[in-house]
Amino acid sequence: MNISWEELTARIQACTACPLSRSITNKVPGQGSHSARLMLIGEGPGAQEDLEGLAFVGAAGQLLTKMLAAINLTREEVFIANIVKCRPPGNRVPLPQEAETCLPFLRAQTALIRPRIIMLLGATALKTLMGEDKRITACRGKWIISKGVYIMPTFHPAALLRDPGKKRPAWEDLKLVRDKLAELESSEASTS
Ligand code: URA
């Protein structure tokens, strides 16, 4: 899919390619800077996101906002998206088939933004994008480099709310992202 933001957003809004579109209030395409250096990818909209049509605006989203602030970033400076654009009923995990069907939209968003770093928030984002055999506990905190993009898997903010013991490792992962952003920025400055 090689298209403009306007066309992409229109296609997301019109999509009925999987059954998830039948039970939603709003599509949640994702939002933020179209030239973001950092992109964050979650699982799928929850109840609040479905009501507002915006990604990560519920309790997990509020924690995500604080996590970004801790590395001096605002939500407006990054792009926040999900694997699926429609809320799965009862907040269940999207089925692999639903994720696959929705994936061209996320890929098109990524192609338009061309982020330097992508944070995968939780197991669904990791498995959908990196392979079903991947485990978040094993992969978090370790860079995956794919087509020149630095990918950092980390725990989902909702997992941090359920299990505060995960906050420390998540903070370590965030610091790696902060430092990589600074490193990329300084190497770009020295070559320009
Ligand atoms: N959880 C997600 O994975 N995405 C959201 O947008 C909200 C909660």
Residue 7 belongs to some domain of the structure: no
Q: Could you read off the pLDDT of 65-79 as tens digits, one per residue?
A: 999 999 999 999 999
Q: Does residue 64 form part of some domain?
A: yes
Reply yes or no on whether the pLDDT at 2 is more than 80.
Answer: no
Q: What is the pTM of this model?
A: 0.97
Dig out the tokens for 94 from the structure: 């999207």
**CA atoms 16, 124, 111, 172: torsion sign:** positive
Structural domain range at position 89: 13-184
Distance in Å, CA 149 to ligand 1 centroid: 23
> Does 8 map to a domain?
no
Residues touching ligand 1 (Cβ under 6 Å) are: 42-46, 49, 55-56, 58, 60-61, 82, 158
Atom of ligand 1 nearest to the CA of 82: 4
Q: Identify whether 4 is part of a domain.
A: no
Where are the alpha helices (H) located in the chain, listed in sequence order?
5-14, 47-52, 59-70, 96-113, 123-130, 136-139, 157-162, 167-191
Provide the number of structural domains found in the chain.
1
Confidence of residue 191 (pLDDT cuts 50, 70, 90): confident
* CATH (domain of 117): 3.40.470.10
Residue 56 placed within a domain: yes
Question: Residue 192 falls within a domain, yes or no?
Answer: no
* Residue 138 included in any domain: yes
